[in-house]
Amino acid sequence: MTTQTSLSTFLLAGPEITLVIAALVIFLWGAFGGLRQGWLVALAGIAAAACWPGLALVPGELVASGPLSIDAFAAFIRGMVLAAGAGLCLVQAGDHFRSAVTHGPVRRDASTCEEAGTFLLLAGLSLVASANDLVLLLAGLELVSIPTYILLALKRTDARGQEASIKYFFLSLVASALFLYGMACLYGIGGSTSLAEIGARLRSPDARISDTATVLLPVALGMVLAGAAFRLAAVPMHFYAPDVYEGTGPANAALLSTLPKVAGVVVLLRLLSLGTGGTLGMMALNQGVAGPAAAAWLTFFWQTLAVLAALTMTVGNLMALMQTNLRRLLACSSIAHAGYLLVGVAAAAAADATLAGRPFPSPDTAWTGALGGTTATLFYLATYITATIGVFAAITYLGHRWPEWTSGPAPQPPRQEVTSVDDLDGLSSTNPVAAFSLAVFLLSLAGIPPLPGFWGKLSLAMAALEVDWTARATPGSRRVIFLSLAVVLVLNAAIAAAYYLRIVAAMYFRSTKRGVQADGGIGAGVAMLAALGLVALFTIQPRPLLSASSRAGESISAPHALLATPQASTTP
């Protein structure tokens, strides 16, 4: 079955189309009209996209047309992307203050339009969450990857910056090729690019279809997970992160730490739902109506992700312990957080696989584990993005270190960025607001209560513990495996606290050596304070975010998540 596009399809993609139009305006106005404030126009474009009519959905509502399916999950991701995009846009703008050691603005006006317009093309990330077709899914992922390595090349023209952009470019090509091969296997299983059709074939009781699907599943899942692991910076596709983060600037490092991770999580959750088809699909599995391919898909999913989660958490945190460069340390931290996110996805897959082999329970308990996994993943993703953007906004705002002047006639000392932990020594005495903000963000990432990061890690651990909680534990059972995974998560959180607290100690318990100029820009400062306000809000009242995450998680497991789209498609 092929999905057909109509005018309503374009109306559903209105926010993304708005961002693309804003990008075109910035490109053309900058080239022919002398625009020099491209980032302000980019912010206006994001605001216009956020005000698109019908952006909010009634709980439980599904709006579908053609290859697009807008449910609570897609709406949650779209809102998160727009909010994160606004924060990243402010961080990317940067350099509006005059430097303390130069006599004029240091921002590069000539490139702001190209950078701002390219940044808005990351609108494809919203399409990944809404995609109900393999072609649109791949197009959305490429609209995340291609603008990212263009931004890496535009922002930094020195040797390190060019090295970072080339590394990311070639590794992105490899990851996209692997993902495309996995999608080809999924097409072979379903005989269609529609995710609804592929999911239906996975759950088909036909023996021939089940046999073919079971053979292709390991290859398809392996290739798809490799492509998603690159965007998450998860093991074994993590090795590029420290070098690329160090070679690029803090604004681009903030971008790499957030939006590609959202894309990776969204892809995993969308593909996970192929094996369930919502409550109706699970009922078919339990009643023996569906074939074994769907159960095999879920089993491969959680087993692979459980191993990757444990490895990614441990490798990332152990690497971070050895770093002194701030961006390399935060790159390793980003790897570890990818492992935390994989715990939630693995718990959701295991809960679905558990239900596939048991009598169908009551509605009150059927989705406890699955909702725990998806809800915890989305909640933690939101808190992680907020704190991470805040950290990089603060580093961008701090800008450069004070120069070391020499006696006698000498050329002006070169500007040196804040790059190492030692550069933050005594920051609390020279920039108390920035030091306090950084401390709050780092403590949230470390999972210190009562900050949002603590509630996020707690929800992930609880989601892992909920798997088979009522079943008797036997050696090798899912309960033992996920109990062990929860213990690994807690131990890794303790390891992570060591290097996060090392940065906080440098700011508050060491004396200032050179100090910083705080010349990184008004935009970065505003983004830092906005992120601080959100962290405070989530600390005081986390329930609204948790409720939104729960609705989004329920939506992706709901009966209409994959089954409604073909019927909802309209003919032009």
Tokens 């997970």, located at residue: 225
Judge whether residue 438 has pLDDT over 50: yes
Which residue would you say has higher pLDDT here, 90 or 274? 90
3-state helix, strand, coil in the chain (%, to 5): 75, 5, 25
Q: With beta carbons less than 8 A apart as the criterion, state whether 119 and 256 touch.
A: no
Average pLDDT over residues 507-536: 90
Report residue 102's pLDDT band, with 50, 70 and 90 as the boundaries. Answer: very low
DSSP string, 487-549: HHHHHHHHHHHHHHHHHHHHHHHS--SS-B---S-HHHHHHHHHHHHHHHHHHH--HHHHHHH
Mind listing the pLDDT tens digit for each residue in 439-449?
Answer: 999 999 999 99
* Closest to 442 in 3D by CA, of 451, 431, 429: 451
Mind listing the pLDDT tens digit for each residue in 228-285?
Answer: 999 999 998 998 999 999 888 888 999 999 999 999 999 999 888 887 654 334 433 4
- In this prediction, residue 367 carries a pLDDT of 35
Judge whether residue 52 has pLDDT over 70: yes
At 29, the amino acid letter reads W
> Which of 72-81, 435-444, 509-518 shows the lowest per-residue confidence on average (mean pLDDT)?
509-518
- In this prediction, residue 32 carries a pLDDT of 86
- In this prediction, residue 233 carries a pLDDT of 92
Average pLDDT over residues 363-367: 36
CA distance linking residue 122 with residue 355, whole number of Å = 37
Judge whether residue 296 has pLDDT over 70: yes
- In this prediction, residue 23 carries a pLDDT of 93
pLDDT, mean over the chain = 82
Sign for the CA dihedral angle at 48, 53, 58, 63 comes to negative
- In this prediction, residue 560 carries a pLDDT of 41
* Closest to 290 in 3D by CA, of 304, 301, 303, 277: 277
CA distance linking residue 385 with residue 459, whole number of Å = 16
Q: With beta carbons less than 8 A apart as the criterion, state whether 480 and 465 touch.
A: no
- In this prediction, residue 56 carries a pLDDT of 61
- In this prediction, residue 413 carries a pLDDT of 63
Which one of 282-296, 393-407, 490-504 scores highest in mean pLDDT? 490-504
Judge whether residue 3 has pLDDT over 60: no
Which residue would you say has higher pLDDT here, 317 or 367? 317
Q: With beta carbons less than 8 A apart as the criterion, state whether 560 and 71 touch.
A: yes
Judge whether residue 498 has pLDDT over 80: yes
CA distance linking residue 275 with residue 183, whole number of Å = 15
Judge whether residue 103 has pLDDT over 80: no
Average pLDDT over residues 208-215: 76
Average pLDDT over residues 533-561: 83
Q: Cis bond leading into 59, ω under 30°?
A: no
- In this prediction, residue 489 carries a pLDDT of 96
Judge whether residue 299 has pLDDT over 90: no
Distances in Å between the Cα of 286 and the Cα atoms of 204, 345, 369 are 13, 22, 17
Residue 70 DSSP one-character state: E
Judge whether residue 525 has pLDDT over 70: yes
Token pair, residue 544, equals 């609204």
* Closest to 517 in 3D by CA, of 426, 406, 436, 431: 431
Token pair, residue 1, equals 């079955």
Report residue 539's pLDDT band, with 50, 70 and 90 as the boundaries. Answer: very high
